[in-house]
Structures are given as structure tokens and as C-alpha cells.
A and B are shown apart, each in its own frame.
Chain A
Amino acid sequence: MNDRVYKHWLLAFFLCGFCLASYIAASGQAAPAATTPVPVRRAATSTDPGEKVFEANCARCHIPPMTLNPRITGTIVMHMRVRARLSRKDQKLLLQYLAP
């Protein structure tokens, strides 16, 4: 295949994919459902120890997700506990903060 045509097709494919995925993601966020993800970032309540753990540890390496589906919160926190070397106490505080 001509390289120019190939490049155009590739770009068109990724642009379409990008637009489609953005649309799906945006519509998914707008539509409330029984399993609507809960917002991870809330109004600042500096007294919440779980929020302190969240702010101090998650942002060390990446931008934390805005929302997290409650069904997977436990799994994600287990993964992050190993990766960030969190204590069991911090894990519990995070779970109570993310999925009260």
C-alpha cells in the first residue's frame, strides 16, 4: 500500500477511535446507573484521614482517577497497597474514604 494512503488511513482510524471512545466515555459518565462510579475527588475535608492518605500517596506517581467504580475499589486498593507499599491501616483508611 502506498505509504501516504497508509498513513492517512492510520490517522483516520485513530482519530475515529479517539472520537468514538471520547463519546462513549462522556456518555457513560453522564448516564446514571445502578453502578455509577463514585467521585474520588471530593470537597476538601482535611480532617478525613483517608483523604490524607489518598492525597499523599496516589499523587506521588500519577493523576488519580476522578471516579472509581465501587465494585472494583477493593481490588484497586489491594494493587496500590503493594505498589505503593502501604500499611494495612492505610489500606483500611483508603477503603473507607473511597467506598464508605
Chain B
Amino acid sequence: MVKWMKNTLVSWRKSKRKLHRDGRVLLSGIIGSLVLLLCVLLGSAAGNAQDDASPQSSAGYVPVISGGFAYIQNSSGGVQTLEPQIIPVLLVPMGHSVLLESRVEFTGFFQREVSPSGSLLGPYAGKVYKTVDYAQLEWLADSHAMFTAGRFILPFGLYSERLTAIWGRNLQDLPLTYTIGTRPYGAADGLMVRGVAASLPSANIQYSAFVSTHSLIEQLQAVRAAGADTSIFLPSKRVEVGLSYERTLEGYQVNSEAAYLSWQPERASTDLKAEYDRTHFGHGYWIEAAHSPQQFPIAPDFFRHVQLVGRMEQFFIRNGGGNGFSQVNEQRPEVGLNYQIRDDWRLESNYGRLFSKNGNENVWNFGFTYRFIWPLWSGRKS
């Protein structure tokens, strides 16, 4: 009995200490956040002041709210989904070398429910999902090293960092292999270093390397992982070739690798991209071409805003697949027709057919996207 009481007392003291420690952690967090906010505000002011003093350029460093807005109507295998999306990006410079940036997604999924008669023509129902894509502090220390701390998008392959913005994608559907190297959360909580390893007149060698910690904090979930990405860019040819590697360091530890190519021939108004991805549970590729006819003989002013897109992709399972991947082989050819009303407004349409052992299905997307870039407040221009 005495032993039990002793244990209870010890455990009560421990929990009291834990509560006290948690309280201190919370207090430290609040103080840290306030200090960070103060730094942001002072840094912004300092940035504006420095900007005015800069003799080389009239560029201003006012905080920016940027991002995209989209309304997409999707039909997959006959199931209708309405997907309104607002994805703001906040950019707050602190001087000319430190940048705080964050992107949040508000995506609605409204789907037709099954009616009492059993058809898919019931009322629309769904909800809006909120996701913090990234919230990071960047220090542009040098050409060779730029440091990022916080939550950041995984630098894996072509799509993850560069092409996920709704207003920038040529096709709305993500590739079948997208989750290779990015699963399960698509982002990491930790540190990243990136920059230019070598800058030559004919080629740039760029790199990124990161480590991520385990996190279960709401909206900031991440797994322990490490990885790197490197690419060679030939500016004169507009060709980029790259390799990515990622290893999860918890649970069932697996490697993921990617090899990618991006090419924009100068005179063809064409954008070619291709990527091969491989992990323990599957491998696959996608190859995409987009073309805007700049000198069409009929109505050239109209046709130079038109974009034709085609993509072929295949995913093959390994070791049974699953774990966030398909459990059967899949392939999906897809074509798209987009119209760029202005540089910020775009009408989108695309059709694809998914071939799978689980059943083939048609995929349709129609909608529009809008990109915005606004200063957060008015600043003095030098």
C-alpha cells in the first residue's frame, strides 16, 4: 500500500513537473512567436528603408499576398465533384536576405451523393479542407547556400515544388506517381539547404538537401526523413536534367528516387517535361508536352493564347503496392485544352482515361484558374 502511495506520489509529482514544463513550453512558444512577429515587422520596415537607399534597382520589398483561385468541376468514373480552391501565399521580406513565406490551401470537395433510387444524382455534399502547405523562414546567405527552416515542400522531382500551384499546372490531375518521394504529407518539418553548387557560363548545377523531423502537430504533420535533389541546367539550350533521392527514417524505411527532364525549345513555344519515379511499393513515369501555337495562320491573336497539352503516364506496382499507392498497375493518357485569357486568368479543360484492373474510367476537368500578386500595403517607391 505504502509502495503504491509512494508510486502515486512520484507519478503525481512527475505529472505536475510535466504540466509545469508544458506550461513553460507554451509560454516560450508564445514569447517566441511574439519575438518572431516583432522581427517580421521591424525587418519589413528595415527592408523598405534599405530598398529606398539601394542605388542599383528601384525594386521594392513590400510584403506580398500572392496565390491562386480556382473553380474546377471534376468527373471521375461518373462521379461529379465541384472543387473551389483558394490558395494564398504570404511573402514577408526582412531586409534583403531573409524571407518568411507561407502557403495555405482551402479546398472544397462537393460531391453528388447516391440518391434513394441508387443513382449518383443525389444532392451535392462535402466540406472545405484547410492545409498548411508550408510555413518557412529563408535566409539567402549566399549563392551557394540558402537556408530554410520550418515546414517546407519536399524538393523531390519536378512536380512537388514547382508544378503543384493550381494556376501553373497544365493539367489539373496530379501524376499517378506524385506520391513517390512525397508521401504521406508532401512536406517536411526541419531544415533545408539549397543553392547553386557551380555557376558556369554554359551550365548551372543546383542542389537541395533536407532533413525532417517527426511531427504530429495538427496541420504540421511530418515524418522523419532526409533527402536531396540536384539538377544541371543548360541556359542556352533551356534543358534541365535532375535526380532526387528521399529516405524515410521511421517505420518501414524506404528509399525513393526520381530522374527528370525539362526542356523548353526556344523557337517552338513548347514545354516538354518527363519524370521517372521509383520506390519500394511501385515505380512509374509521366511525360508531358504543352504547346501554344504562336504563329497560327488563322486568327493568330486568338490561337497564341491557346495551349494544347498531352500527357502519358504509367504506374507499376512493386512488392504488392499499397501503402498509399495503387495495388494494381495503372496507366492514364490525358489531353488538355487551355485558354490563357490574360497572364493571370486561364480557362482549363482536360480529358483522360484511367486504365486499371480495378476498372477503367474517364476523367474530365473543366474550370478556370486565377493568379493574383498583390502588395500587402502601399510602400514608397524610390
Contact = CB atoms under 8 A, between A and B. Distances in A.
Contacts of B341: 22
Contact of B375 (A63, A71, A87, A91): A71
A30 interface: no
Contacts of B194: 82, 85
B162 A85 contact: no
Given A61-B163, A81-B140, A85-B194, A66 B58 contact: no
Contacts of A86: 196
B260 to A, nearest CB: 12
B123 A21 contact: no
Interface in B120-172: 122-124, 138, 140, 142-143, 146, 148, 161-163, 165, 167-168
A67 to B, nearest CB: 8
A69 to B, nearest CB: 6
Contacts, number: 149
A95 B59 contact: yes
B64 A76 contact: yes
Contacts of B13: none
> Interface size class for chain A?
35 or more
B374 to A, nearest CB: 8
Nearest to A79: B91
Contacts of A6: 123-124
B235 interface: yes
A75 B195 contact: no
Interface in B22-61: 47, 51, 56-61
Interface in A58-100: 59-79, 81-83, 85-89, 91-92, 95-96, 98-100
Contact of A85 (B63, B195, B375): B195
Nearest to B163: A61
A79 to B, nearest CB: 5
A74 B91 CA distance: 11
Interface string A41-71: 0000000000011001001111111111111
Contacts of B195: 85, 87
Contact of A65 (B123, B124, B373): B373
B343 A65 contact: yes
B208 interface: yes
B378 interface: yes
A52 B262 CA distance: 18
Contact of B123 (A2, A25, A56, A69): A2
Contact of B345 (A7, A22, A53, A72): A22
A35 B57 CA distance: 16
B238 interface: yes
A95 B57 contact: yes
Contacts of B58: 70, 99-100
A35 B378 contact: yes
A71 B379 contact: yes
Contacts of A53: 235
B61 A74 contact: yes
A76 B91 contact: yes
A10 interface: yes
Nearest to B240: A60
Interface in B333-353: 340-345
B93 interface: yes
A80 to B, nearest CB: 10
B273 to A, nearest CB: 9
Nearest to A85: B206
B162 A72 contact: no
B264 interface: yes
Contacts of B262: 60
Contacts of B62: 71-72, 75
B239 to A, nearest CB: 10
A82 B64 contact: no
Nearest to B262: A60
24 contacts: A6-B123, A6-B124, A7-B124, A21-B370, A60-B240, A62-B168, A67-B343, A70-B59, A70-B381, A71-B60, A72-B61, A74-B59, A74-B60, A74-B93, A75-B60, A75-B62, A76-B64, A76-B91, A78-B99, A85-B207, A85-B208, A87-B195, A92-B56, A96-B57
Given A10-B82, A73-B60, A74-B93, 5 more contacts: A14-B84, A75-B64, A76-B64, A82-B140, A96-B56
**Which 8 interchain pairs have the tightest Cβ spacing?**
A3-B123, A71-B60, A99-B59, A74-B59, A87-B143, A73-B59, A85-B206, A62-B168
